């Protein structure tokens, strides 16, 4: 079917909670996506930081096909080998002791929240409150939503569990919000959805110290930052901070739905049998896909590559900021999670259609940030292609701004 016919049908039959661009994806290869009419687009978004090893990576395709031919699902009433091997592999790479698998980032964060509250409940401690951050994004299910720090996402959904939101990066505010009723603090190493805000140096270590002083747990949401995106396996690696539990998802299985909660041994009993679970979580298909992704990350040195290519991308974005000061306020990010911040008055999502028309996929983060979160297999030449399309679009915006300013003189 051609695009037009499919888009007509989509208008009639798809639920209206999304506002997709009129590009009907048919297939992909590496960082390229093609629509049903054969139009090519350079994918520098990887969905939203998901397609970590690019599209149709042969090793991932083979692993999925081979596992599908054996068994896709068998439930958590039984064990399966890919699930056990993935748990072992993730524990080995991260230093955590236990893995619980689910199907998305929101579910991984629900597991963190439930584990934290139940850990204290089981000790007769009534702590329930969570400290989270303004602009944080933890997902759309009710528990994850309660911790998400952008009011517009929570509006209209009624009462939310006890969560206090404070300024990201402000340890004094966290200190003031702390109390004997706080079960946990949840934090992202870089706030991706909120606008690509990088945690200030020492912030996570400061949170760890405040949690220790107050008997609260530190939960780190690595859904967007984990699995190599920042040029290290976990976003908080190298910060000298050990969380009590972390959430992973997005890039973990290269696009096959998966989420994971990793915990220390101290939290291993927080959710005993019957308190939590997931029908699809930990299925052999998703776990095999994830094992293949981890192998590709190693074989192709994609984690260290994300650091180098991220630095190259950072320079390209800095150059655009200098070139178009009337349109760009700055650039920020870490590894292959970077944002070009537009000046006040611009709305990032309104700029995306023109970028797409010129053959590049990016996403918006927060109100004014054009976000790059490409597959980790991206080449520097592909990043340059993205930057050159952006140069054209920023040039058009700057020309419009100048014409507008001239008209008002």
Binding residues (CB under 6 A) for ligand PLP: these are 48, 104-106, 109, 137-139, 188, 192-193, 221, 223-224, 249
What is the distance, to the nearest Å, from the Cα of residue 279 to the centroid of all Cα atoms in its chain? 23
Contact 339, 371 (CB under 8 A): yes
Query: Shortest Cβ distance from residue 223 to ligand PLP (Å)?
Result: 3
* Segments of 96-187 assigned E as strands: 98-102, 129-133, 163-166, 182-187
Of 57 and 138, the one with the shorter C-beta distance to ligand PLP is 138
Of 47 and 320, the one with the shorter C-beta distance to ligand PLP is 47
Look at residue 234 and give its three-state secondary structure.
Answer: coil
Query: Shortest Cβ distance from residue 370 to ligand PLP (Å)?
Result: 16
Q: CB count, 10 Å around CB of 275?
A: 12
Q: Which two tokens stand for residue 345?
A: 């008055």
Query: Shortest Cβ distance from residue 407 to ligand PLP (Å)?
Result: 40
Of 282 and 327, the one with the shorter C-beta distance to ligand PLP is 282
Contact 229, 235 (CB under 8 A): yes
In eight-state DSSP terms, residue 265 is G
- Beta-sheet pairing, 163-166 with 129-133: parallel
Of 189 and 284, the one with the shorter C-beta distance to ligand PLP is 189
In eight-state DSSP terms, residue 42 is E
CB-nearest residue to ligand PLP: 105
Angle between helices 284-299 and 81-94 (to 10 degrees): 40
Query: Shortest Cβ distance from residue 257 to ligand PLP (Å)?
Result: 8
CA dihedral 31, 33, 39, 42 (to 10 degrees): -30
Query: Shortest Cβ distance from residue 18 to ligand PLP (Å)?
Result: 12
Query: Shortest Cβ distance from residue 250 to ligand PLP (Å)?
Result: 6
Token pair 């979580």 in the structure block, residue: 281
Of 53 and 365, the one with the shorter C-beta distance to ligand PLP is 365
Of 137 and 324, the one with the shorter C-beta distance to ligand PLP is 137
Query: Shortest Cβ distance from residue 124 to ligand PLP (Å)?
Result: 31
Q: Which two tokens stand for residue 173?
A: 């505010």
Of 67 and 224, the one with the shorter C-beta distance to ligand PLP is 224
């Amino acid at each position: 079917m051609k695009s037009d016919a499919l888009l007509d049908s989509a208008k009639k039959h798809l639920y209206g909670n999304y506002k997709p661009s009129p590009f009907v994806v048919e297939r992909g290869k590496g960082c390229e996506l093609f629509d049903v009419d054969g139009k090519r687009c350079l994918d520098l978004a990887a969905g939203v930081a998901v397609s970590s090893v690019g599209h149709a990576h042969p090793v991932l395709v083979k692993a999925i096909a081979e596992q599908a031919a054996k068994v896709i699902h068998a439930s958590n009433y039984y064990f399966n080998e890919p699930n056990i091997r993935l748990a072992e592999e993730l524990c080995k790479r991260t230093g955590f002791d236990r893995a619980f698998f689910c199907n998305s980032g929101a579910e991984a964060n629900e597991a963190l929240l439930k584990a934290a509250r139940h850990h204290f409940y089981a000790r007769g401690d009534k702590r329930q409150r969570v400290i989270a951050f303004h602009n944080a994004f933890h997902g759309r299910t009710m528990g994850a939503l309660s911790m998400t720090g952008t009011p517009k996402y929570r509006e209209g959904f009624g009462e939310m569990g006890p969560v206090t939101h404070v300024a990201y990066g402000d340890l004094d505010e966290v200190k003031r919000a702390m109390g004997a009723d706080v079960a946990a603090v949840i934090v992202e190493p870089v706030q991706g959805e909120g606008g690509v805000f990088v945690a200030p140096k020492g912030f996570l270590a400061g949170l760890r110290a405040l949690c220790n002083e107050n008997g609260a747990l530190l939960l780190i949401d690595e859904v967007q930052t984990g699995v190599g995106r920042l040029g290290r396996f976990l976003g908080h690696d190298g910060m000298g901070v050990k969380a009590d539990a972390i959430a992973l998802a997005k890039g973990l299985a290269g696009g096959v739905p998966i989420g994971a909660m990793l915990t220390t041994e101290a939290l291993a009993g927080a959710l005993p049998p019957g308190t939590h679970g997931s029908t699809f979580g930990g299925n052999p298909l998703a776990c095999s896909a994830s094992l293949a992704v981890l192998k590709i990350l190693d074989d192709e040195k994609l984690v260290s590559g994300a650091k180098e290519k991220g630095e190259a991308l950072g320079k390209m974005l800095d150059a655009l900021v200098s070139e178009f000061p009337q349109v760009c306020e700055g650039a920020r990010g870490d590894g292959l999670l970077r944002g070009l911040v537009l000046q006040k008055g611009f709305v990032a999502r309104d700029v995306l259609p023109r970028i797409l028309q010129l053959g590049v996929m990016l996403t918006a983060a927060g109100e004014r940030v054009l976000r790059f979160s490409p597959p980790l297999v991206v080449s520097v030449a592909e990043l340059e292609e993205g930057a050159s399309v952006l140069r054209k679009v920023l040039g058009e915006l700057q020309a419009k701004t100048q014409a507008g300013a001239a008209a008002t003189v």
